[in-house]
Amino acid sequence: KTTVVVGVRAPAESASISKLTSASFPGQVLEFPANNTEQLDKTQPSWGNYPKGVTAVYLKHLNRKEPLGVHAAIASTVPLGSGVSSSAALQVSFATFLESLFEIDGVPAIQKALLCQTAEHEYCNVPCGIMDQFISSCGKKDCALLIDCCAKEPTLVAFQDPDVVIVVCNSNVKHELNGGEYKERVMQCQAAVKTLQTHGHPQMTHLRDATMSELDAVREALGDEVVYRRARHVITENERTVAAVEHIRARQYAEAGQLMFESHDSLRDDYNVSTPELDYLVETARGCEGVFGARMTGAGFGGCIVALMQQQHAQKLMETLVADYPKDKFGSMRPNPTSFLTRTGDGAHVIQAGVSTH
Q: Which residues of the chain fall below pLDDT 50?
A: none
> How open is the CA angle 193-210-263, to the nearest 5 degrees?
100
Nearest to 93 by CA among 51, 30, 61: 51
Beta carbons of 267 and 273 less than 8 angstroms apart: yes
- Give the per-residue pLDDT at 259: 99
N-to-C CA span, the chain: 17
pTM of this structure:
0.89
Does domain 3-142 bear CATH number 3.30.230.10?
A: yes
Note whether 3-142 and 157-342 share their fold: no
Q: Which residues are catalytic?
A: 132
Domain coordinates of the chain in residue numbers? 3-142, 157-342
pLDDT of residue 353: 65
d(Cα 231, Cα 215) in Å, to the nearest integer?
Answer: 8
Instruction: Say how far apart CA 77 and CA 74 lie, in whole Å.
Output: 10
According to the model, what pLDDT value does residue 355 have? 60
Residues 157-342, CATH architecture:
2-Layer Sandwich (3.30)
CA distance 115 to 46: 20
